[in-house]
Amino acid sequence: MRGRWPWGALLAVGLLTGCAGDDGVAPARDARLAQPADGLVVDALPADAQPADAQPLDGRVDQGAGGPDQGPPPEDAGPVDGGAADADPFDGAIAPVDDMGLDDGVPDAAAPDASPPDAGPAACAPGIPPANVEAGRDGRFWVAPAFPSANLPARTVVAYLPAEYDAQPDRRYPVLYMHDGQNLFDDRFATFGTAWEVDDIVDALTAAGAIEPLIVVGIDNTADRIDEYTATVDPGRQAGGNAAAYGRLLVDEIKPWIDATLRTRCGRMDTAVAGSSLGGILSLWLLQTYPDTFGRVGSHSPSLWWDREAPLGWAPALVDALGADGRLWIDGGNYEGGDADQDGRRSVLTHTRRLAEAIWAGGVQFPNQLGYLEGPRDLHDEAAWERRLPAALVHLFGPPAAEPPEAVAVRGFTGWVPAAGERPLSVDARWPGDRALTLPDGAAEWAVEGPAAVRDGALQGAGVGPVQVTATWRGVAGQAAFDAVAPAQVTVEVTAPQGTPDAPLWLVGDRPEIGEWQPPLGLELTPVGDLRWRGTVTLPAGGAAAFKITRGSWGTVEKTAQGGELADRMLVAEDGATVRLTVARWADWR
C-alpha cells in the first residue's frame, strides 16, 4: 500500500508462539523510520559498471535493493511506479488474539481442520518453531518486529494475509517468501521510498481470478545483506558467502513459525521464494539447495555477475531442482548494467537471457515451467520490479499459459543494424490480463525482407537498406522494421575544469547507444591525463545525436561558466571522427 501502514502498538498483543525476549520488549518496526539509512551497503551491479562519484549504476546505495530513476525518462517510458491502486487501507488497530482466526496448531473441536478440495493438505508438519517470537496483528498484516534466530541477527518478519483469511477459517493457503521485506509493502519503510506494492498487486490479481489467494511473507534484510544473500565470496568485493545461514533461518526457523502460526499449505508446490538483485541469486540458490521445500521461485534482476558469474553455472542444478512440475521466473531490465560491446543489450539482460536459455535447453518447459521477461526501459529498482511483478505472480501461481498468445511483438535494441554487423532482437508474447513473457532465442520462427538475416537471436546486416523482420510463435506473428546502414565510430574527447575528480565521465544523450538520457547508462569516458577524458561510440553513419556530459548523474551535469543551463550538444556520426569538447563547470560546484 502506497505510504500507509500504521502499525500501532504491535506488542499490545501478547506472544503467540512462545515467551518474551530477554528484555520482554521487541523494537517496533516504526523505530526504523528515524534512521532509514542504518547499515546501508552497496549492492547489485558489478563494481566496474558504476560511475565513480555518483550513485552506483543501479541507482542507489542499497540496504534493500532499489533506487530512484536518474534523469528525465524517455517520453514513452511509462509510469514510474506502475502499481495497482491501494486496495485496502488499514487504521492500525490490532485485533485481539482470539479474534484473529489464526491457527495455533491445536485442532479446534468446534471447527475441524478440513480444507476445501482445492486448498491442499489439511495440516502441515512444521517442525519446531522458535520459542520466543513476539508478534501481533495489524489489519491483514501479521508482524514479528524482531524475529529471533540462532543463525543470524534478529529482523522484522511480516506476513500479508488473504482478504478472506478470517471469513474462511478452514481454508489453508500457499505461501510466498520474499527477501528485502522492508521494500515490499509500504513506501515509508522502503530503502529509497518506493515499495513493490506487493499487497495491492496480490489483491488485484486475486480479485481478477488470475492467481489463487496466498500468504506473502516479507523477511527484512540487515546490514549483513551482501553476506547473507550470497553463497560464495566475490573476490572483487571480498564479501559474501553466508547464504547457508540465511537458508537455515528461512527453512528451519521462519517457515516452521509461519506454518505453526498461520493456516498454510506445506507442499513443495505450495511454497515459493522470490527476491531481486542479490535476492534474485539467493532465490536461485535456495531452489537448488532446498528442492523439496521450494517448488516456485522468482528471480528478479538477479546479480548473476557475482563471483565471476558463478551463478550462470547453476543451470544444470536448477534444472534438476525444478523437476517436471516446478516453476521458475527470471526477469531483467535493459537499463541495468553496462554495454561494453555497444549492441544495445545491457549486461543484466545478457546474463538473464543466458541463464534462462540454458535452463530451457536443459529440458525445463517453456512457457509453463520457465517464465522469462525483459523490461526494455527498466532500471534496477523497486519501481521496475513492481511493474514486472504481476506477470511473475501470474506465471508462478496462475494456470498454465493459454494457447495461443494474444499478441507477439518484435523488439530491437536499436533502430538500425550495421551493414556486416549485428544487433540483438527480442520477441515478447502477451495474453489477456497480466501474463507476459519474452521468448528464448530459438523459440520463434523468423522471416526477413531486406539485406539482413536473423541468426542466434540477432539481426545481422548484409548490406545497406531497409529491413523488415517477422517473428512467428504458436501461430501468432509480430513485425518490426529496421535500417541496415554503415556504422561510424566516433571518438569523443572532453577537457574538464581543474578540480574534476580523476574518475570516469559520462556522455549521455537521446540514442540507445548513449543511454537515452539515463546518465549512468551513457558512453563512459575514461581519464587519459591532463584533465582529458576519452571514449568511442558506434552510431549509424550520418546519424545525429543530442547529448550532454555528466559525472554520472543529473546532479553533476555540465553547466555554463556562470552555472546556467547548457543547451544540448549535437554531433553527426562520421566514421573515424574525433569530437573535442570543453566542460566549463559542473552542476554540483558552488
Summarised one tens digit per residue, pLDDT across range 124-167 is 665 677 778 999 999 999 999 999 999 899 999 999 999 999 99
Report the pLDDT averaged over residues 296-305.
98
What does the mean pLDDT of the chain come to?
A: 83
Lowest mean pLDDT among 45-49, 177-181, 257-261, 466-470: 45-49
Tell whether omega for the bond before 540 is within 30 degrees of 0, i.e. cis: no
φ, ψ for residue 268, nearest 5 deg: -55, -40
Question: Does the pLDDT of residue 489 top 60, yes or no?
Answer: yes
Query: Each residue of 36-64: pLDDT tens digit?
Result: 323 333 344 554 443 333 333 333 333 45
Extract the C-alpha cell encoding 307.
563471483
pLDDT at residue 281 in the model: 98
Query: Each residue of 561-586: pLDDT tens digit?
Result: 999 999 999 999 999 999 999 999 99
Question: Does the pLDDT of residue 498 top 60, yes or no?
Answer: yes
- C-alpha–C-alpha distance, residues 202 and 160, integer Å: 10
pLDDT exceeding 90 applies to what percent of the chain?
A: 73
pLDDT at residue 220 in the model: 98
Query: Each residue of 402-422: pLDDT tens digit?
Result: 889 999 999 999 999 999 899
pLDDT at residue 123 in the model: 57
Q: Which residue shows C-alpha cell 553476506?
A: 227
pLDDT category, 119, cuts 50, 70, 90? very low
pLDDT at residue 582 in the model: 98
Report the pLDDT averaged over residues 490-517.
95
- C-alpha–C-alpha distance, residues 372 and 439, integer Å: 7
- C-alpha–C-alpha distance, residues 206 and 248, integer Å: 31
pLDDT at residue 340 in the model: 86
Report the pLDDT averaged over residues 433-440.
96
Domains of the chain and any CATH numbers: 10-22+30-84+132-397 (3.40.50.1820), 407-432+441-485 (2.60.40.1080), 487-586 (2.60.40.10)
pLDDT at residue 129 in the model: 73
Question: Does the pLDDT of residue 258 top 50, yes or no?
Answer: yes
Extract the C-alpha cell encoding 411.
523488439
Question: Does the pLDDT of residue 85 top 90, yes or no?
Answer: no
460-474 burial by CB neighbour count: b if 16+ within 10 A, else e?
Answer: bbbeeeebebbbebe
DSSP 366-402: TTTTEEEEEETT--SSHHHHHHHHHHHHHHHHSPPPP
pLDDT category, 91, cuts 50, 70, 90? very low
pLDDT at residue 436 in the model: 97
Q: Which residue shows C-alpha cell 584533465?
A: 531
* DSSP label at residue 519: G
Characterise 75 by phi-psi region: left (phi > 0), alpha (psi -120 to 50), beta (else): alpha
Question: Does the pLDDT of residue 10 top 80, yes or no?
Answer: no
Higher-confidence position of 538 and 88: 538
SS3 101: coil
SS3 213: coil
Query: Each residue of 468-481: pLDDT tens digit?
Result: 999 999 999 999 99
Question: Does the pLDDT of residue 538 top 70, yes or no?
Answer: yes
Q: Are strands 585-586 and 155-160 parallel, antiparallel or unpaired?
A: unpaired
pLDDT at residue 127 in the model: 65
Residue type for position 486: A
545-555 burial by CB neighbour count: b if 16+ within 10 A, else e?
Answer: bebbbbbbbbe
pLDDT at residue 520 in the model: 84
SS3 516: helix
Query: Each residue of 344-393: pLDDT tens digit?
Result: 999 999 999 999 999 999 999 999 999 999 999 999 999 999 999 999 99
Report the pLDDT averaged over residues 237-258.
96
Question: Does the pLDDT of residue 521 top 70, yes or no?
Answer: yes
Query: Each residue of 309-357: pLDDT tens digit?
Result: 999 999 999 999 999 999 999 999 999 998 888 899 999 999 999 999 9
Higher-confidence position of 575 and 86: 575
Extract the C-alpha cell encoding 269.
508446490
Task: Indicate whether this model's pTM tops 0.85.
Answer: no
Report the pLDDT averaged over residues 255-261.
94
Cα dist from 9 to 14, 35, 71, 95, whole Å: 11, 19, 40, 11
pLDDT at residue 45 in the model: 56
Residue type for position 453: A
pLDDT at residue 341 in the model: 87
- C-alpha–C-alpha distance, residues 453 and 451, integer Å: 7
If you count them, how many residues does the chain have? 590
